[in-house]
């Protein structure tokens, strides 16, 4: 660890925090239908979209209608993307002459992008046409992110409104997220990335003759436009196979700084949007503080273990700092920061190979995914996921003092707690349940690259990443098999929609309630006591659930590594 490494992490966190208020305030205005500086340009486009789609923007929806609209939109997106992938060989914009994507891989990829996961069982430059990357993947990068934001806003309305019947209009929230937030920031980001060196063209792959006379094929494409939104929308699916470690995708330390900032910025700012919409900004900051505590602890641990490195390297007479799978221009600090940010958020893009991390350095990303992607989390999904833990934390606090818990004046009753538990229990069910099958079945074990405890970690990483809708991988593992394409796709579907529906049910239940005025017995939810309680509940639930499995993978591997064992 170096002073300069910590300085980079500190500056990153400072810039992220500084953006929370302006972006959070802007999003609150957008979702409350107020005028913003973009309205003169985008207002007419917004209205045009409502007219052709037959949407009455003044009519709000009950939570069930809102959820059905969201599900229909996502289902349509899935089928369109699946069709594009299967038919890409017959469609235009395919200069590298890619053939049709196989059915199981197309299913996995289509689920992956509609559910905002972006698991890559495909290698972009070796599998997909430019049309698939643009019309297929880039579109879903936008709308799956917008879906997440819409849902979070609906749940916020559940807290903010009193005795109401509706939680907003899904179509309006979807259109506003995309037009006012995701698109403008992506345009600026894409041009910045091109300036730094990310390609943006529709040309054929370039054949070069290297200085020593060898042949090298340089894959090209409309990359910058896709990379900007893949980071901003916490999607994470790379234009190239090795994602943001590829110099074309992330050429400089500056591009790296902006990309890793994009990963967390919307999720971080949504806490402030929440604070504004419930008219108590301290509530937003409390959630921001809880997320930050876990995030910074994760960065410190991963950075510490990667810098301390691998004793096997030292035995070869080398500096032990773990540079396997990392790029020189980023070094240990930027790689560690990215690994934690991308798994805290459900982004899943990587600028270094997590599979090659030290056991504990690589365990932090696994834990962050297993907590349910709520430490900032996916855009929108991080916030509604965090609310589930807030409900549980308030329930626990209520049990301790023996009174019905309230959050923002809304009574947390049996229905809310049941729904929150239902959503939270889905994670271990999918992760541990599917792992249990994969670790004993030959079709599960055959994908492992590294024998020993690391192989176990590889399987755990896959299901944690799919269920948490993250999308990063211990990439030595062969995920592109019939078993993993199918079960991984299933885990992504369940991990997304079986959390969304209970969360929306909570929104529907809360929005109908009256707010109780605070009394002397009300537990304040904006102080350090609440933040500690929330962090404690998150870590205890995650810890109790996954510690046994983690101890069989990363923890035992850490001990083995220090004892000088190789597998």
Task: Kindly identify the residues of this chain, within the stretch 192-221, that bind another protein according to CB under 8 A.
Answer: 194-203, 205-212, 214, 216-220
The dihedrals phi and psi of 358, each to the nearest 5 degrees, come to: -60, 160
Contact 105, 121 (CB under 8 A): yes
121 binds another protein (CB under 8 A): no
CB of 205 or CB of 547, closer to another protein: 205
Contact letters for another protein, residues 510-529 (x by CB under 8 A): --------------------
Residues 127-186 that bind another protein (CB under 8 A): 134-136, 138-139, 141-143, 171, 174-175, 178, 182-183, 186
Residue of 107, 109, 179, 190 whose CA lies nearest to 143: 179
Q: What secondary structure does DSSP assign to 40-101, as a single string?
A: HHHHHHHHHHHHHHT--TT----HHHHHHHHHHHHHHHHHHHHHHHHHGGGSS--TT---PP
The strand pair at 406-407 and 410-411 is best described as antiparallel
User: How many residues contact another protein, by CB under 8 A?
Assistant: 128
Residues 39-68 that bind another protein (CB under 8 A): 49, 52-55, 65, 68
Given 334, 346, 466, 485, the residue binding another protein (CB under 8 A): 334
- Using the 8-state DSSP alphabet, how is residue 221 labeled? -
CA distance 250 to 224: 9
Cβ-in-10-Å burial (0-12, 13-18, 19+) of 200 comes to: middle
Q: Rounded to the nearest whole angstrom, what is the least distance from the CB of residue 381 to another protein in the complex?
A: 19
CA distance 79 to 122: 18
CB of 135 or CB of 396, closer to another protein: 135
Residues 269-288 that bind another protein (CB under 8 A): none
Given 342, 351, 447, 466, the residue binding another protein (CB under 8 A): 351
- Using the 8-state DSSP alphabet, how is residue 329 labeled? T
Q: Rounded to the nearest whole angstrom, what is the least distance from the CB of residue 417 to another protein in the complex?
A: 29
453 binds another protein (CB under 8 A): yes
Q: Rounded to the nearest whole angstrom, what is the least distance from the CB of residue 229 to another protein in the complex?
A: 8
Task: Give the tokens for residue 416.
Answer: 């809310």
317 binds another protein (CB under 8 A): yes
Q: Rounded to the nearest whole angstrom, what is the least distance from the CB of residue 439 to another protein in the complex?
A: 16
Given 1, 36, 104, 247, the residue binding another protein (CB under 8 A): 247
Residues 218-237 that bind another protein (CB under 8 A): 218-220, 222, 224-226, 229
CB of 372 or CB of 553, closer to another protein: 553
Given 14, 15, 72, 445, the residue binding another protein (CB under 8 A): 72
CB under 8 A: which stretch of 314-322, 376-384, 415-423, 489-497 binds another protein?
A: 314-322
Residue of 472, 473, 483, 477 whose CA lies nearest to 449: 477
CB of 55 or CB of 533, closer to another protein: 55
256 binds another protein (CB under 8 A): yes
Helix axes 253-277, 331-344, angle to 10 degrees: 30
Q: Rounded to the nearest whole angstrom, what is the least distance from the CB of residue 43 to another protein in the complex?
A: 15
Contact 371, 253 (CB under 8 A): no
Q: Rounded to the nearest whole angstrom, what is the least distance from the CB of residue 230 to another protein in the complex?
A: 12
Task: Give the tokens for residue 399.
Answer: 């049990």
Q: Rounded to the nearest whole angstrom, what is the least distance from the CB of residue 521 to another protein in the complex?
A: 43
Q: Rounded to the nearest whole angstrom, what is the least distance from the CB of residue 167 to another protein in the complex?
A: 15
Residues 531-560 that bind another protein (CB under 8 A): 557, 560
188 binds another protein (CB under 8 A): no
Sequence-distant (6+) residues with CB within 8 A of 191 are 224
Give the number of other CB atoms < 10 A from CB of residue 249.
Answer: 27
323 binds another protein (CB under 8 A): yes
The dihedrals phi and psi of 118, each to the nearest 5 degrees, come to: 65, 45
Contact letters for another protein, residues 475-504 (x by CB under 8 A): xxx---------------------------
The dihedrals phi and psi of 518, each to the nearest 5 degrees, come to: -65, 145
CB under 8 A: which stretch of 27-35, 147-155, 282-290, 315-323 binds another protein?
A: 315-323
Instruction: Write the Ramachandran bin of 99: left for phi over 0, alpha for psi from -120 to 50, otherwise beta.
Output: beta
Q: How far is CA 283 from the centre of its chain?
A: 23
Q: What secondary structure does DSSP assign to 86-117, as a single string?
A: HHGGGSS--TT---PPPHHHHHHHHHHHHTT-
Q: Rounded to the nearest whole angstrom, what is the least distance from the CB of residue 37 to another protein in the complex?
A: 20
326 binds another protein (CB under 8 A): yes
CB under 8 A: which stretch of 249-257, 370-378, 462-470, 528-536 binds another protein?
A: 249-257
Task: Give the tokens for residue 65.
Answer: 């209608």
190 binds another protein (CB under 8 A): yes
CB of 51 or CB of 415, closer to another protein: 51
Q: Rounded to the nearest whole angstrom, what is the least distance from the CB of residue 123 to another protein in the complex?
A: 6
Given 103, 253, 527, 536, the residue binding another protein (CB under 8 A): 253
254 binds another protein (CB under 8 A): yes
Task: Give the tokens for residue 57.
Answer: 């923007």
316 binds another protein (CB under 8 A): yes
Please report, for residues 68, 256, 495, the alpha-carbon distance to residue 261 in angstroms, rounded to integers and kept in the order given. Answer: 33, 8, 25
The label of the residue with tokens 């208020």 reads 21
CA distance 219 to 203: 9
Given 358, 480, 487, 545, the residue binding another protein (CB under 8 A): 358
251 binds another protein (CB under 8 A): yes
């Amino acid at each position: 660890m170096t002073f300069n490494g910590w300085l980079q992490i500190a500056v990153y966190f400072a810039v992220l925090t500084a953006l929370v208020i302006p972006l959070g305030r802007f999003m609150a205005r957008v979702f409350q239908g107020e005028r913003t500086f973009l309205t003169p340009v985008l207002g007419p486009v917004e209205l045009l979209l409502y007219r052709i789609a037959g949407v009455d923007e003044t009519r709000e929806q009950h939570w069930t209608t809102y959820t059905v609209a969201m599900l229909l939109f996502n289902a349509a997106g899935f089928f369109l993307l699946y069709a594009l992938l299967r038919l890409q060989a017959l469609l235009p914009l395919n200069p590298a002459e890619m053939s049709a994507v196989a059915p199981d891989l197309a299913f996995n990829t289509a689920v992956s992008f509609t559910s905002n996961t972006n698991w890559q069982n495909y290698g972009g430059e070796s599998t997909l046409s430019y049309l698939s990357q643009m019309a297929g993947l880039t579109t879903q990068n936008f709308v799956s992110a917008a879906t997440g934001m819409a849902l979070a806003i609906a749940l916020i309305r559940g807290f903010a409104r009193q005795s109401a019947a509706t939680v907003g209009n899904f179509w309006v929230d979807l259109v506003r997220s995309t037009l006012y937030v995701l698109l403008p920031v992506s345009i600026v980001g894409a041009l910045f990335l091109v300036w730094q060196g990310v390609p943006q063209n529709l040309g054929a792959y370039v054949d070069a003759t290297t200085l020593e006379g060898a042949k090298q094929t340089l894959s090209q494409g409309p990359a910058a436009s896709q990379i900007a939104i893949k980071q901003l929308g916490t999607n994470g699916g790379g234009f190239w196979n090795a994602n943001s470690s590829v110099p074309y995708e992330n050429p400089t330390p500056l591009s790296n700084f902006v990309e890793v900032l994009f990963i967390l910025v919307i999720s971080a700012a949504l806490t402030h949007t929440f604070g504004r919409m419930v008219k108590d900004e301290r509530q937003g900051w409390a959630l921001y503080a809880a997320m930050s505590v876990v995030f910074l602890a994760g960065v410190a641990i991963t950075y510490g273990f990667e810098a301390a490195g691998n004793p096997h390297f030292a035995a070869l007479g080398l500096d032990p700092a773990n540079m396997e799978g990392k790029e020189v221009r980023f070094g240990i600090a930027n790689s560690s920061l990215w690994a934690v940010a991308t798994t805290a958020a459900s982004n899943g893009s990587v600028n270094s190979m997590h599979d090659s991390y030290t056991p504990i350095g690589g365990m932090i990303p696994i834990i962050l995914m297993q907590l349910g992607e709520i430490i900032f989390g996916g855009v929108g999904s991080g916030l509604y996921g965090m609310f589930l833990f807030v409900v549980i934390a308030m329930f626990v606090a209520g049990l301790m003092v023996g009174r019905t818990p309230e959050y923002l004046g809304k009574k947390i009753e049996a229905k809310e707690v049941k729904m929150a538990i239902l959503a939270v229990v889905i994670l271990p069910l999918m992760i541990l349940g599917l792992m249990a099958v994969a670790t004993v079945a030959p079709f599960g074990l055959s994908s492992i690259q590294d024998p020993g405890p690391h192989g176990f970690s590889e399987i755990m990483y896959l299901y944690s990443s799919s269920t948490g809708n993250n999308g990063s991988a211990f990439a030595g593992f062969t995920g592109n098999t019939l078993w993993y394409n199918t079960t991984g796709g299933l885990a992504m579907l369940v991990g997304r929609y079986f959390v969304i529906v209970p969360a929306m049910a909570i929104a529907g239940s809360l929005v109908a309630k009256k707010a109780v005025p605070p009394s002397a017995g009300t537990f304040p939810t904006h102080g350090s006591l609440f933040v500690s309680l929330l962090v404690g509940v998150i870590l205890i639930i995650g810890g109790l659930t996954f510690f046994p499995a983690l101890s069989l993978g990363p923890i035992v591997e850490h001990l083995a590594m220090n004892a000088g064992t190789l597998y």
